[in-house]
Amino acid sequence: MPRCRRRKRIGRRASKRGFLSTYPLRLCGDAYRPGPGQGSQHTTGGDAMDQNEVAVAFEIVLEEIENVVATVKREGAEAFHAENYNLAQELAEKALQIEAFRGRVKSLQQEWLNIFGTVRVPSSGRRGKRKVAERLRRGLRTPENVFRIPILQSLVELGGSAPMSEVLDRVEQKLKHRLNQYDLQPLPSDPSLIRWRNTAQWTRNTLVDEGLLSSDSPRGIWEITDAGRRYLADELARTYFKIWLTHHRMTANKQKA
């Protein structure tokens, strides 16, 4: 994906251990399902993104918005340390507004996925002419939804709550074969933060909004809720059923042959 023109700095002016811990992450890393109330989705992460250019574009827009949020927050912190409290307050409010806007974009993305999640859209037959699509596919980060199950599972393995760094270290191990080179790069807006970790932190915010993670845990601590445990158990049960069903069908086909 070609680099976008560098934005002017916004602040310049206003500026229980058990079976859950042995779940095969290869599956939850490649396939994902929406959260509660988000509809049904049974597509594979990579295939869905290749087939659905609009969903890919949403992911890129979300990352651009996140970069703006990071820039505004950084400049707000700089203003605060410079004792420019009016500017710091203004930037803090601006960051909240942009985060709310990101939430609406994320909802639109999920609505789009719900519409096409179970439908394979026919190819237009113009692959050679779709230069925009090729540009979108290059340098695309791993989608936020891919991090949902690994985060919940890591928290269960860690006893239900843990510092963010410990959770992310486990998530990295579970998704090490899923993360791409783009995920491993630092953010342009914050070179100290690796891109996939930023995506995981935004995923945590979504899980909090859905009630799957606690909203009142101590700062820097992630905590799974009872609803999160039930959601995780349901997702694992569905996955294991799919594995059993696939194995059963393959066995039946071999016997017929």
pLDDT at 7: 40
**What confidence tens digit (pLDDT) does each residue in 102-127 have?**
889 888 888 887 877 554 545 444 54
Is 7 a domain residue? Answer: no
The parts of the chain modelled with pLDDT lower than 70 are 1-52, 117-139
Q: What is the pLDDT of residue 8?
A: 41
pLDDT for the residue 129 = 44
CATH number for the domain that contains residue 45: 1.10.10.10
Residue 6 lies in a domain: no
* Distance in angstroms (rounded) separating the CA atoms of residues 49 and 59: 9
Identify whether 9 is part of a domain: no
Listed residue (55, 64, 80, 59) closest to 3, CA to CA: 64
Question: What integer pLDDT is reported at residue 107 of this predicted model?
Answer: 87
Amino acid 203: pLDDT: 95
Model pLDDT, residue 45: 42
Q: What is the pTM of this model?
A: 0.60
| Residue 114 neighbours by CB distance under 10 Å | 14
Does residue 2 belong to any structural domain of this protein?
A: no
Number of domains in the chain: 1
Give the pLDDT of residue 43: 41
Q: What integer pLDDT is reported at residue 195 of this predicted model? A: 92
User: Domain span at residue 68?
Assistant: 16-252
Judge whether 121 lies within some domain.
yes
